[in-house]
Amino acid sequence: MNDDVFHNLKNKHVHMVGIKGTGMTALAEILKARGAVITGSDSDEKFYTDNILAELGIPVKEYFSSGNITGKVNLVVYSSAYSKESNPELIEAIKRTLPCMTYPEALGILSRQQNSSGISGVHGKTTTTAIAGTITKELHLPVTVLAGSQVPSFENSSTLNLGDKYFIAETCEYQKHFLNFKPDQVIITTVELDHPDYFHSLEEIHTAFIEYALSLPEKGTLIYNADNDGTIQVIEKVKKTREDIQFIPYGKHGQGPFQITAIHSSAGEIRFCLKEFDEEFILHIPGEHNVLNASAAIALSMVLLKKEKGEIKKDHILAIKKGLENFRGSRRRSEIIGETGGILFVDDYAHHPTAIAETLKGYREFFPDRMIIVDFMSHTYSRTKALLHEFGSCFSHADEVILHAIYASAREKENQSIRDKDLYEEVKKNHGNVLYFHDVMEAVPYLKGVLRPGILFVTMGAGDNWKLGRYVYNMLRGVSS
């Protein structure tokens, strides 16, 4: 694909297949801001991105048809969830010899047109990207930011469009999609086994991250989590090959300016210090894992600030501190839905055992006086089977656990070798209070009876049980969902 395809987008008609996906909607916003005419198609299922697309004035067909590829279309971008062999719009586009590219390929082309930073890691990349964007916004850097979730400090969008000199984007390891991205800076948050339908061993996922790091240009910058064993193993191998890279560690074991020297958690906030900064930083989202994410974002902001300004002044540090204090999370990442009758409703995307354990620990510290009920839906049969033992022991900071049927991915068929009951029994081995409702909404009558003032009710996972928390919240408020 010719990299010039995005150089002059003015009045170029880009049709986007699967436009309601978070990344696709964010990309649509960036392309529209650069002058393109955008249309899209998707299923008729409703997502929060429907509202974003409507506000942008982007027309969306809620079906797939060859007729959606009109004679005015110049370029087609499609979600990796769809195939050129089966999707009627892609089949029609190929018949017309229109240029077609996947979302990761489009992101890769954008990355080669400016100084680009790729945020990667099995956990934490969305929040790290969102924090980095919030900080660079406060620093008034000419940056475009693309996060994998809706961010309140981005005016409830998934993107920031403050200029095109720098590009910060969340980049995904699944199917090695991030290898399409051409970074000048890379952040690696955490590396451990995930996506077992694609990565069949820990070594395979390590190899993918090593390959991504090695794609950095000469004297590129690699910012990494020195507290994560998998990341350290990746970094050690990269160092053997690339002595020219600037390695910047962060975390409690990160020797250097971004070493975390103190963390103090209390109700409603976390205060932390970094080794070479006089200021104490404050976060209003829970969990020490988010202190790590914030430290990575600060490190990247400093790198870009030096490139742009040449020096770091006291006002810059104060702006970084203000950006952190202004950050209030992102959609489905410790997202506070609301509080009614003394019951606090929170939704979180955590779907890997490590992320679940760290997130619940953060809630326990952030909301010390609340009873925690977590409603969890496991995502994909392959992940549930591969990490069953870890799932069994990751809910220790919850007072009560509610489970549902495994949420199957569109990319896999039901696996008869792992069942909902297997997950339920595994969690029960380690937790004294576990319930199971096959369908998400079957839990409504139970919750109506047990929820009371002082409870934190958390919907958690990458499935669709987020609907339960919002439904019950609205029901208790007397509002129709």
CATH code where residue 62 lies: 3.40.50.720
CATH code where residue 238 lies: 3.40.1190.10
Based on the fold, state whether residues 340 and 303 are members of the same structural domain.
Answer: no
Q: What is the helix (H) or strand (E) element at residue 57, kind and residue range? A: none
* pLDDT tens digits, 326-364: 898 777 777 889 999 999 999 998 888 999 999 999 899
Asked if residue 108 is part of any domain, the answer here is no
Q: Give the pLDDT mean for 245-252.
A: 98
Q: Provide the pLDDT for residue 474.
A: 95
Based on the fold, state whether residues 317 and 352 are members of the same structural domain.
Answer: no
Residue 425, classed as helix, strand or coil, is helix
In percent, how much of the chain has pLDDT > 90? 75
Asked if residue 239 is part of any domain, the answer here is yes
Based on the fold, state whether residues 97 and 118 are members of the same structural domain.
Answer: no
Chain-wide mean pLDDT for the chain? 92
Asked if residue 182 is part of any domain, the answer here is yes
Based on the fold, state whether residues 141 and 276 are members of the same structural domain.
Answer: yes
Domain boundary among 284, 301, 326: 326
Domain boundary among 71, 102, 133: 102
CA distances from 100 to 76, 78, 92 (A): 5, 8, 11
Based on the fold, state whether residues 185 and 46 are members of the same structural domain.
Answer: no
Q: What's the alpha-carbon Rg for the chain, to the nearest Å?
A: 22
Asked if residue 264 is part of any domain, the answer here is yes
Structure tokens at 106: 């489009």
Q: Which residue has the tokens 């760290």?
A: 358
Based on the fold, state whether residues 168 and 298 are members of the same structural domain.
Answer: yes
Based on the fold, state whether residues 27 and 133 are members of the same structural domain.
Answer: no
Q: Provide the pLDDT for residue 402.
A: 98
How far apart are the C-alpha atoms of 169 and 110, rounded to whole Å? 10
Asked if residue 107 is part of any domain, the answer here is no
Asked if residue 91 is part of any domain, the answer here is yes
Q: Provide the pLDDT for residue 48.
A: 81
Q: Provide the pLDDT for residue 127.
A: 92
Q: How confident is the model at residue 266 (pLDDT cuts 50, 70, 90)?
A: confident
Q: State which residues form the domain around 423.
A: 335-477
Based on the fold, state whether residues 56 and 8 are members of the same structural domain.
Answer: yes
CA distances from 384 to 136, 182, 244 (A): 38, 33, 40
Q: Provide the pLDDT for residue 251.
A: 97
Q: Give the pLDDT mean for 27-33.
A: 93
How far apart are the C-alpha atoms of 337 and 327, rounded to whole Å? 16
CA angle 453, 456, 460 (to 5 degrees): 150
Based on the fold, state whether residues 166 and 134 are members of the same structural domain.
Answer: yes
206 neighbors 234 (Cβ within 8 angstroms): yes
Q: Give strand pairing partners of 461.
A: 377
* pLDDT tens digits, 428-464: 999 999 999 999 999 999 999 999 999 999 999 988 9
Task: Spell out the residues 6+ positions from residue 254 whose beta carbon is closer than 8 angstroms to its own.
Answer: 225, 226, 227, 260, 295
Q: How confident is the model at residue 56 (pLDDT cuts 50, 70, 90)?
A: very high
Q: How confident is the model at residue 480 (pLDDT cuts 50, 70, 90)?
A: low
User: Do the bridges between strand 335-340 and strand 281-283 make them parallel or antiparallel, or are there none, so unpaired?
Assistant: unpaired
129 neighbors 296 (Cβ within 8 angstroms): no
Asked if residue 466 is part of any domain, the answer here is yes
Based on the fold, state whether residues 339 and 357 are members of the same structural domain.
Answer: yes
Q: Provide the pLDDT for residue 332.
A: 74
User: Do the bridges between strand 185-188 and strand 115-120 make them parallel or antiparallel, or are there none, so unpaired?
Assistant: parallel
Q: Provide the pLDDT for residue 414.
A: 63
Based on the fold, state whether residues 215 and 307 are members of the same structural domain.
Answer: yes
Asked if residue 109 is part of any domain, the answer here is no
* pLDDT tens digits, 363-389: 998 899 999 999 999 999 989 999 999
Based on the fold, state whether residues 274 and 159 are members of the same structural domain.
Answer: yes
* pLDDT tens digits, 63-81: 999 999 999 999 999 998 8
Structure tokens at 428: 């029960």
Is 411 a residue whose pLDDT tops 80?
A: no
Question: What's the pTM?
Answer: 0.84
CA angle 218, 223, 228 (to 5 degrees): 130
CATH code where residue 381 lies: 3.90.190.20
Number of domains present in the structure of the chain: 3
Domain boundary among 78, 102, 126: 102
